[in-house]
Copies of this chain bind each other. A is one copy, B any other.
Amino acid sequence: MTPGQPRWRRRKDARPAEIVTAALEVFAERGFAAARLDDIAARAGVSKGALYLYFETKQELFEAVVRDTVLPDLDAVEQVATNLELPFRQLAPMLAARLALLLTTSSLPAVAKMVIAESRNFPDLARVWHDQVVSRALGVLTGVVKAAQARGEVRPGDPRFHALSIAGPMLMGVLWREVLEPVGAEPIDLPALAMQHVETALVGLLTPEARA
C-alpha cells in the first residue's frame, strides 16, 4: 500500500459525465441487455454501487446517454438542414455529406443499432429514440422536401416517402458496416455511397425544370 495515495477520490460533479461516456461504449459494444453495469463501472473507474448514486436504473442511464451524446450531434445536422432558403439541388449534397460524416465519426450508428436491437424488450428505449431523434430528423428532412416541392423544384409525391428515398440507403450502408463488416462482409465506402446516391436521387426527385 502506498499510503500517500488515497484509494479513490470524491468527485461528485465529474462522475456523471464519465459514467455516461463509459456507458455509451459498453452499450454500443454489447447492446442494452447484454451490457454489464460492472463493466460500465470499471470503465468509468468506479464501483457498480457508485452508478446508483447518480442513476436510478439501467434504463435511466441509457436515456442519459441519448440526451448527452446523441442529441448534440443531431443539433449540428439540424443546423445545416434548416437552411431552407438554399435550392434543393445544392442543399441535398451538403446534407448528405454532413450526414455521412456524422455516421462515420460519431457513435450514433452504434446507438441506433442498439435501439433496433432492444426495441421489443425495452419499448421505452425505442420511444425515447423515436421522439427525440428519428421523428425530429425525419421531420426536418420532410420539411426540406416539402419546401422544395412548394417552390416547384421537386416532383410531387408524399414528401415523407421522398425523405425515406433519400435517407434509406444511408441507413442501409450504416447497418452494413455495423452488422456485416465485422463478420467478414466486403466493406462499403460510406461517403462514396452517399455521394453517388445523392446524385441519383437528385435526378429522380427534381422536376425537369429544376435540373437546369
Partner of A171, one of B29, B161, B175, B184: B175
Interface residues of chain A, those whose CB is within 8 Å of chain B, are: 29-31, 33-34, 113, 115-121, 123, 126-127, 130, 134-135, 155, 157-158, 160-162, 164-165, 167-173, 175-176, 178-180, 182-185, 188, 192-193, 196-197, 199-205
Contact, CB under 8 Å: A135 / B172: no
| Complex CA–CA separation, A34 to B185 (angstroms) | 26
| Complex CA–CA separation, A182 to B121 (angstroms) | 11
| Complex CA–CA separation, A179 to B169 (angstroms) | 18
In the complex formed, the residue of B with least CB distance to A110 is: B120
The complex is assembled from copies of this chain, and their number is 2
On chain B, the residues within 8 Å of A201 by CB distance are 165, 200-201, 204
| Complex CA–CA separation, A127 to B181 (angstroms) | 10
A191 CB to nearest chain B CB (Å): 11
In the complex formed, the residue of B with least CB distance to A121 is: B34
Contact, CB under 8 Å: B30 / A121: yes
Known contacts being A121-B34, A126-B179, A164-B169, is A204 close to B200, with CB within 8 Å? yes
Contact, CB under 8 Å: B179 / A115: yes
In the complex formed, the residue of B with least CB distance to A175 is: B116
| Complex CA–CA separation, A120 to B175 (angstroms) | 12
Q: Knowing that A31-B120, A126-B180, A161-B169 are A-B contacts, what are 19 other residue pairs whose CB atoms are under 8 Å apart, sorted by A's residue number? A: A29-B120, A116-B117, A116-B179, A126-B179, A130-B185, A134-B180, A134-B185, A157-B200, A161-B192, A164-B169, A164-B193, A165-B200, A167-B169, A168-B169, A168-B173, A171-B172, A200-B204, A203-B203, A204-B204
